[in-house]
Amino acid sequence: MDGIKYSVVTDKGIRLLLKNQYTFNVESGSTRTEIKHWVELFFGVKVIAVNSHRLPGKSRRMGPIMGHTMHYKRMIVTLPPGYYIPPLRRKELKSKY
């Protein structure tokens, strides 16, 4: 679990849970195959697909100096029907769309 930082809980992330897709922020140097291996090993599930995108860092100001935070990578992991990651999936999760 060195590459996975934490799971992402946003509006889009919750909508993706209904499609059996889970969103994680990962280390920026992680590859798709590494993330697939870690998720399968740690959670004991089968992974169909892993999609990734790099998000830009945010601008920050400290007095007169303008800087920015580091960019980070987000992975969307798709699981087959019947598999789920227990701490992230609840029975009462229903779609309102």
Res 1: pLDDT: 56
Which pLDDT tens digit goes with each residue over 23-50?
Answer: 999 988 888 999 899 889 988 999 999 9
- Tell me the C-alpha distance between 68 and 22, whole Å: 28
For the entire predicted model, the pTM comes to: 0.76
Which pLDDT tens digit goes with each residue over 54-74?
Answer: 988 889 998 999 998 888 899
- The number of angstroms, rounded, from the C-alpha of 59 to the middle of its chain's C-alpha atoms is 22
| Greatest mean pLDDT range, 3-7, 14-18, 45-49 | 45-49
Res 70: pLDDT: 84
Which domains, and CATH codes, for the chain? Answer: 4-84 (3.30.70.330)
